[in-house]
Chains A and B, each alone.
Chain A
Amino acid sequence: MLVPPPPIWRAGETLGEQLAHAGVSRRDLLKFAGRMATLIAMGPLLPGQTAAIAETIADKLASVKKPNAVWLQLQECTGCLESTLRAGHTSIEELVLNMVSLNYCELVMAASGNAANAALDATNREPHILVINGSVPTANAGYCTIGGKSTETILREAAANATAILAVGSCAFDGCVQAAAPNPTGAVGVRDILTGREVVNVSGCPPIADVITATIVYVLTYGRTPPVDELGRPLFAYGARIHDNCPRRAHYDAGQFVTSFSDQASREGHCLAHMGCKGPDTFSPCPVIKWNGEISFPIQAGHPCLGCTEPHWFDRNTPFYHALPNIPGMGVESTANKVGAVALAAVGVGIAAHGVATLVRRHLRSDDDTPPSSD
């Protein structure tokens, strides 16, 4: 069961304008402000006084412009925020200084300690956009605490009044490296804690900066979260496999493969399938959006795709330099179902039931394009 999120403010509009759109008049706002005035004063007020205070409150409220945002870092490496710093299209400074009021973000906020916690508590009480990097350790709350609170408490408190919840990065998606076998801290992703809430998963280790900021801008622009796939990932970014858009795809189709990182094929940009490329199994816009201002992406720079946007990639995709079993020219031409079974066996108990179902569907879907023979 998903709880529908309350409407979110549009970029550039004041609350007054937002309310007007929603059919709330200035008179309604004043009435509301009058009630607020009485509450704040906590005592009887003369009629004139109430009206004056109400005016002030209404003005303040109406001029509030930017949505507040909380950006949590739980169990993680800060790579996702570093990625965000590199965003080229909507830059971090534009995002943080113009589009949202980022009232809590440990990496960049001025305040520390009590002052930081006060900013978090105050923002948590109001509607806000919540971005989360990092996983939650479930084996022992002592594995990660912030401000003396457990990671789970920090997450739940910030989620309570959140109007949109964006789990950014592989850690927030499903625990990433710390959740790889034997998962020493019992790390899980955000959706395993906030069950019943709508969580958008911007997966990747880290995700491409422009995908992170675009997801936030989408929310600000449309006032709702973007449509997502079965794993909660925005379709605008995770709708196609890397293999479908790969510039080396012609070589795959022609059966031209790199077989050593020092061979002639590697110097001519042939397909990396035999070197372990996970592109045929990975939904991500890397070949389309590319990285760091459209400079390149891993396959373009000569290294096989590691598949970091997919669930439990550190278990499912290792050993990294072994070819996927359904790659032509590798001896056994497995069917998609067999591939799925192998992937599932490798991952073992690491994936929750919904993830398993998705994996199977994924592999059935990739059966559609019959792999060509390499000879």
Chain B
Amino acid sequence: MSTRVVIDPLTRIEGHLRVELLAEDRRIKDAFACTTQFRGVENVLVGRDPRDAWVFAQRICGVCTFTHGLCSIAAVEDAIGYPIPVQAKLIRDLMMRTILIQDHVIHFYQLQALDWVNVVTALKADPAEAARIGSSLSNWTGNSRGAMAETQETVKKIVESGQLSIFTNGYWDHPGYQLPPAVDLLAVTHYLQALTFQREMIKLHTIFGGKNPHPNMLVGGMATPINMDNEWTINQVRLDQLKAIVAGTQTFVEQVYYPDVLAIMGFYKEWFDIGAANPNLMALGLAGTWGSGDPNLYRGNRLEPGLLLDGDFRKPVPFDLSKIVEYISSGWYDYSVGADKALPPWQGETNPNYTGPQPPYEWLSDRPKYTWDKAPRYGDKAVQVGPIARMLLAYAQGEPSVVTMLDAAMAQLGIRLEQMNSTAGRTLARAMESVLMAREMQAVFADFAGRILNGDTAVFNPDKWEPSSWPQAAKGVGFVEAPRGLLSHWVQLEKGAIKNYQCVVPTTWNASGRDPSGQMGAFEYALAHSKQHPLTDKDKPLEALRTVHSFDPCMSCAVH
């Protein structure tokens, strides 16, 4: 007899996710991912000026802020055939890598860490030992005994006050927490230091975009002028600030984030055998790859866009743009072609029709439709997107930086490539690509600064700004390898205005419900496909949280 388990709100994610589980003998037997928020941004965009679209689209998500704006601009620039100056591309590259790393760091420490790190146990630690472990992992200057003792004092005050704030009702007595107290303390210290780090790092967005979250950008380039002889522009003061930010970023991810993830996953090795999702992975390239039009034509992308299918993680299959479609068989929508049919995004429709129970309700998934998420599929395949797809595709293509790093990590942890498709593997892949991104940022910044030295200051191309220069009707697509995976925006223009707008977002792929052939999306598959996923205590669903968090769910992205 299976028991119903509901996790709603599933916290420490972006947006509103409800997970319904059927559990038996402390194992998950079935799972349903229910996205419970709809806003209708695609419908709001219809009829608007395409140069304004990024402002609307960016509000899809404030966590991966910038990403949807960039994707929107890439789609619009594709539609009107709008080339941009090299420096504008480099600024966008820097901003994209910034949000990728910042988002990954916040995800690990602020959103995911409390699944693995026990704040209360950190009280039992010897600060000196925590400092010793810290300095054995890296040269990070924040690993002093004093820093550890201070963290412990902060935690102690909170626990003793009886008002636990954000730690209220945590599962602190759950047997799943297995770190030695000193490692708990080290991780909590880095939790606090990560907050400081992300505040500093994001200033790169403020310099180029004026603010964050939701920095400003521009169709046709960027609005931030470069003029070494003016105080309001990108000048030597700004270049110095940028240089420091880029260097500080590399330090933090190399000395804190990546060593922490390696060490912590090392204590939880069994999680490389738990939470395998659909063995089909899709990516366009490394994190931060973005562009207009068919990704197979992108210049400068070190990798071929591709897929790894049916568990063969060594053989890349070419990517075909025309194979992306969306189903609504489990989503609260209508299609003019019928509910069991798929639509490609350029012909996509967003006709919301809520047929679930009126709240308050107890259970959603006993009806065929149980989520606001559409179900994107690649042809007939349910695929997984995200850092894991990027890293394994790069590995399969022999990208040297990835091969070196992944081989070293697998050797250290004693795991096989196939085990990377797991709860721990997805977590590790995210940290690993942050290091690669940080190193790339150094190169992009050097290129940007070097070009300024050579007098290349153009950031905006005025040629196609005026709607009179646009075709009467056009369509375009933009792609971004976003923090959570492959993102695409699909736009149709008519007479200078948006006729149709569709977004197929990483979490739309990963959080999708059943398609007409009954295939589960990645969240559901990872929780339920093996029927062996642990769930020790249905009132404290710690293990389910670990697996869902390993995807870094962004529900306002998934359903927009």
What total of chain A residues lie within 8 Å of the partner, measured CB to CB? 99
| A146 close to B8 (CB less than 8 A) | yes
| B168 close to A319 (CB less than 8 A) | no
Contact of B465 among A104, A149, A260, A296 (CB under 8 A): A260
- Residue A43 interfacial (CB < 8 Å): no
- Residue A243 interfacial (CB < 8 Å): no
- Residue B471 interfacial (CB < 8 Å): no
| B214 close to A267 (CB less than 8 A) | no
- Residue A18 interfacial (CB < 8 Å): no
| B7 close to A113 (CB less than 8 A) | yes
- Residue A68 interfacial (CB < 8 Å): yes
- Residue B12 interfacial (CB < 8 Å): yes
Nearest chain B CB to A46's CB is how many angstroms away? 28
- Residue B36 interfacial (CB < 8 Å): yes
Contact of B227 among A110, A146, A185, A268 (CB under 8 A): A268
Interface 0/1 of B5-48, CB less than 8 Å to A? 01111111111101000000000000000001111110110001
> Contacts A267-B233, A293-B203 hold; do A105 and B166 have CB atoms under 8 A apart?
yes
| B11 close to A112 (CB less than 8 A) | yes
| A142 close to B354 (CB less than 8 A) | yes
Give the distance in Å from the alpha carbon of A266 to the alpha carbon of B556 in the complex: 36
Interface residues of B in 33-65 (CB under 8 A from A): 36-41, 43-44, 48-49, 51-52, 55-56, 59-63, 65
Give the distance in Å from the alpha carbon of A254 to the alpha carbon of B248 in the complex: 41
Contact of A260 among B114, B222, B233, B462 (CB under 8 A): B462
| A303 close to B209 (CB less than 8 A) | yes
- Residue A41 interfacial (CB < 8 Å): no
| B59 close to A77 (CB less than 8 A) | yes
| B354 close to A79 (CB less than 8 A) | no
Closest to B208 in A: A301
| B556 close to A77 (CB less than 8 A) | yes
Instruction: Kindly count the residue-residue contacts between A and B in the assembled complex, taking CB atoms under 8 Å apart.
Output: 335
* Chain B residues with CB below 8 A from A178, complex form: 39-41, 44
Closest to A141 in B: B359
* Chain A residues with CB below 8 A from B223, complex form: 261, 266, 301-304
| A78 close to B15 (CB less than 8 A) | yes
- Residue B225 interfacial (CB < 8 Å): yes
Contact of B62 among A78, A185, A187, A298 (CB under 8 A): A78
> Contacts A77-B61, A113-B8, A142-B359 hold; do A96 and B41 have CB atoms under 8 A apart?
no
- Residue B360 interfacial (CB < 8 Å): yes
| A110 close to B209 (CB less than 8 A) | no
* Chain B residues with CB below 8 A from A183, complex form: 44
| B62 close to A82 (CB less than 8 A) | yes
Closest to A295 in B: B206
- Residue B140 interfacial (CB < 8 Å): no
| B56 close to A314 (CB less than 8 A) | yes
- Residue A65 interfacial (CB < 8 Å): yes
Q: Show 7 A/B contacts (Cβ-Cβ < 8 Å), sorted by A.
A: A112-B9, A142-B359, A184-B38, A269-B233, A292-B206, A304-B223, A321-B49
> Which residues of A are in contact with B by a Cβ distance under 8 Å?
60, 64-66, 68, 73, 75-83, 85-88, 91-93, 96-97, 100-119, 137, 140-150, 153, 176-178, 180-185, 187, 205-206, 208, 247-248, 260-262, 266-269, 286, 291-293, 295-304, 306, 314, 318-321
> Which residues of B are in contact with A by a Cβ distance under 8 Å?
6-16, 18, 36-41, 43-44, 48-49, 51-52, 55-56, 59-63, 65, 106, 110-111, 114, 119, 154, 158, 161-171, 192, 195-196, 198-200, 202-203, 205-214, 216-218, 220-227, 230-233, 241, 332, 352, 354, 356, 358-362, 457-462, 465, 539-541, 545, 556
